[in-house]
């Protein structure tokens, strides 16, 4: 027990350190975790930890998909239902078929095994992709497409994996029976998830206690998956639908703003914690020398899955563009092709393969290698690709804006220190006024620079105002909580005012979501006539 606790503490410390480094160096967090884990495992600085497929599928996966589903706005999903449905259902089947076909010919692999490997490699892990999106401010519709595809893609992929696995184990393919099984398992998961989601939504509307609501949604996430799997339906589909129902019916219609914030914070933390554990354990579990023995097969697997994805995205959009309400820009299609990074679900399915599957060890090694290479190469290159395609905001204006801000912050801090020195008698009034005047030149120049940039890019002012409003609300909330601790006000009065602050916070957030729109074009050239001044 002591050894287990020490290992947990070590993992937490490593994840924290990696998070700090990744943020400073602007590396995707999941990629940094995998690299750190692989390095620590290879150097034997941490004990070898085996990923357990049952824990990933039965515990981690429901938490991840439920947390993503509960935060998904169904109205946005409905507005993009056609491309999302195409990518996650028919697109998933086509990608698997094409990838399996390429694997069959490239690796000279049996058809059934090639399709099984293709079903595992066709799953897209959006955690890393969406983390990159958040750092680059991509158009909201593109983020919805990626997240919506992943939500439904996971359920489709698991059902398809089970169907293909049955063919591998039995050696017989009954197409009509397989299609019927696929349909019934998916439909069963949808019905179970909708029913449980509705029941829990009704329950949380009557509780008015955010702690109980967190417990209920936690039980729902794990219970929907377990019940659906026990009834031979799709556990992932049940969990996704349950999360969508609670998030759009129970959460937004029945919960108070304070409960919504508490519930949202809990599921955000749960998803972050689970992802941190999964990607770090993935790195620690990778056998680098063994993967090195399969460099060429892994490269061919990557070639096959990207080829299948490329044909499906570009070809499907070309054939069905008239069916879509709003066709996708070509640059978005490039991102959808290159953003198909692999993650925990792909690994879990490989580890869950029965021992009777032919060439099981080879399949697991190939999957581990593909996931590792995908997270590193695509994780590090997706951001630069999006900037090159001008999908994300250009960094030039942001850097100039931050440069003016840092000059203003530093000069104001220096002036404040001068005031303290003068009041303490360390600095004479004449010296204080002379030094303060020098820094005032920097302050005036920085403020002028900010006004120019704000006029050219009003989005920055909107974002700054949004952050300022949220910070002021946190200050108010802290003052109220402090007054309650000191018994200056009653707990009931404090709670009423905190709920009022939460209402304001959510109203500001909703308005800011509409006001602050990310750029889709590079900013115009900035006026060069104003140059930042320096003190002294």
Residue 246 counted as domain residue:
no
| Domain tally, the chain | 2
Nearest to 229 by CA among 155, 303, 321, 282: 155
Same domain? 128 vs 72: yes
Q: Give buried/exposed letters for 234-263 (b at 16+ CB in 10 A, else e).
A: bbbbbbbbbbbbbbbbbbeebbebbbbbbb
| Residue 75: per-residue pLDDT | 74
Same domain? 384 vs 408: no
Same domain? 147 vs 268: yes
Same domain? 376 vs 420: no
The CATH code of the domain that includes 20 is 1.20.1530.20
Q: Report how far apart, in Å, the C-alpha atoms of 324 and of each of 82, 224, 312 are.
A: 6, 33, 15
Q: CA 449, CA 458: separation in Å to the nearest integer?
A: 13
Half-sphere exposure of 54 (CA within 13 A, CB side): 1
| Residue 39: per-residue pLDDT | 86
Same domain? 426 vs 498: yes
Same domain? 19 vs 147: yes
| Residue 508: per-residue pLDDT | 65
Residue 230 counted as domain residue:
no
Residue 194 counted as domain residue:
no
Same domain? 338 vs 402: no
Same domain? 324 vs 416: no
pLDDT tens, the chain, 536 aa long: 567 677 788 888 888 888 888 878 878 888 888 888 888 888 887 776 777 778 888 888 899 889 888 888 777 777 777 788 777 777 888 888 888 999 989 888 889 899 999 989 888 877 667 777 766 667 778 888 888 887 777 778 888 888 888 888 887 767 677 778 878 888 999 999 999 999 998 888 888 788 888 999 999 999 999 999 999 898 888 999 999 999 888 776 667 667 777 888 898 888 888 888 888 888 888 777 878 888 999 999 999 888 888 888 888 878 777 666 667 888 888 888 888 888 778 888 888 888 888 888 889 889 888 988 888 898 888 888 888 888 765 455 666 777 888 888 888 888 888 888 888 888 888 888 899 999 999 989 988 888 887 777 776 667 677 777 777 887 888 788 878 877 888 888 888 888 888 777 777 665 554 444 333 333 344 444 344 444 44
Residue 209 counted as domain residue:
no
The domain in which residue 472 lies consists of: 395-515
| Residue 225: per-residue pLDDT | 93
Q: Report yes or no: 246 and 217 within 8 Å, Cβ to Cβ.
A: yes
Residue 366 counted as domain residue:
yes
Which helix (H) or strand (E) segment is 9 a member of?
helix 2-25
Please report, for the chain, how many H helices and E strands are present, in that order.
Answer: 26, 0
Is the pTM higher than 0.75? no
Same domain? 105 vs 89: yes
| Residue 527: per-residue pLDDT | 41
Residue 526 counted as domain residue:
no
Nearest to 120 by CA among 389, 365, 380: 365
| Residue 256: per-residue pLDDT | 67
| Residue 199: per-residue pLDDT | 92
Terminal CA-to-CA distance of the chain, rounded, Å?
61
Same domain? 374 vs 409: no
Same domain? 329 vs 422: no
Nearest to 236 by CA among 92, 28, 51: 92
Residue 76 counted as domain residue:
yes
Residue 522 counted as domain residue:
no
Same domain? 301 vs 420: no
């Amino acid at each position: 027990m002591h050894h287990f606790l020490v290992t947990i503490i070590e993992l937490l410390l490593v994840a924290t350190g990696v998070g700090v480094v990744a943020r400073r160096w602007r590396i995707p967090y999941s990629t940094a975790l995998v690299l750190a884990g692989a390095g620590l495992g290879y150097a034997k600085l941490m004990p070898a930890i085996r990923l357990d497929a049952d824990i990933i599928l039965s515990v981690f996966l429901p938490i991840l998909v439920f947390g993503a589903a509960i935060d998904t706005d169904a109205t946005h999903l409905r507005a993009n239902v056609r491309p999302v449905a195409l990518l996650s259902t028919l697109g998933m089947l086509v990608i698997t078929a094409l990838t399996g076909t390429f694997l069959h010919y490239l690796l000279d692999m049996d058809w059934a095994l090639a399709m099984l490997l293709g079903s595992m490699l066709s799953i897209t892990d959006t955690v890393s992709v969406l983390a990159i999106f958040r750092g680059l401010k991509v158009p909201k519709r593109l983020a919805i497409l990626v997240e919506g595809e992943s939500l439904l893609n996971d359920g489709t992929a698991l059902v398809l994996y089970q169907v293909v696995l049955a063919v591998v184990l039995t050696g017989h393919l009954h197409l009509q029976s397989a299609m019927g099984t696929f349909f019934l398992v998916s439909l069963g998961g949808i019905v179970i998830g909708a029913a449980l989601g509705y029941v829990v939504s009704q329950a949380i509307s009557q509780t008015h206690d955010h702690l109980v609501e967190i417990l209920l949604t936690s039980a729902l996430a794990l219970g929907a998956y377990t019940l659906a799997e026990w009834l031979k339906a799709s556990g992932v589909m049940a969990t996704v639908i349950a999360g969508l129902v609670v998030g759009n019916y129970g959460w937004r219609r029945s919960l108070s703003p304070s409960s919504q914030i508490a519930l949202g914070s809990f599921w955000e933390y749960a998803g972050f914690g689970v992802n941190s554990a999964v990607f770090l354990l993935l790195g620690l579990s990778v056998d680098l020398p063994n993967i090195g023995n399969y460099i060429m097969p892994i490269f061919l697997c990557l070639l096959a899955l990207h080829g299948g994805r490329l044909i499906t995205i570009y070809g499907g959009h070309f054939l069905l563009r008239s069916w879509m309400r709003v066709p996708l820009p070509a640059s978005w299609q490039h991102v959808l092709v290159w953003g198909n990074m692999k993650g925990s679900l792909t690994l879990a399915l490989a580890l869950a393969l029965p021992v009777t599957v032919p060439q099981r060890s080879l399949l697991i090694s190939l999957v581990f290698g593909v996931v590792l290479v995908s997270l590193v190469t695509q994780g590090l290159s997706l951001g630069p690709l999006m900037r090159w395609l001008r999908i994300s905001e250009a960094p030039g204006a942001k850097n100039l804006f931050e440069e003016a801000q840092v000059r203003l912050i530093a000069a104001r801090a220096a002036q404040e220190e001068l005031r303290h020195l003068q009041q303490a008698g360390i600095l004479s009034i004449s010296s204080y006024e002379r030094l303060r005047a020098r820094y005032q030149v920097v302050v005036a120049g920085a403020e002028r620079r900010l006004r120019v940039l704000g006029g050219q890019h009003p989005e920055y002012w909107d974002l700054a105002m949004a952050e300022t409003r949220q910070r002021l609300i946190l200050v108010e909330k802290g003052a109220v909580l402090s007054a309650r601790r000191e018994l200056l006000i009653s707990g009931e009065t404090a709670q009423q005012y905190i709920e009022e602050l939460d209402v304001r916070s959510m109203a500001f957030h909703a308005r800011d979501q509409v006001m602050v729109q990310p750029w889709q074009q590079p900013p115009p050239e900035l006026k060069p006539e104003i140059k930042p001044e320096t003190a002294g």
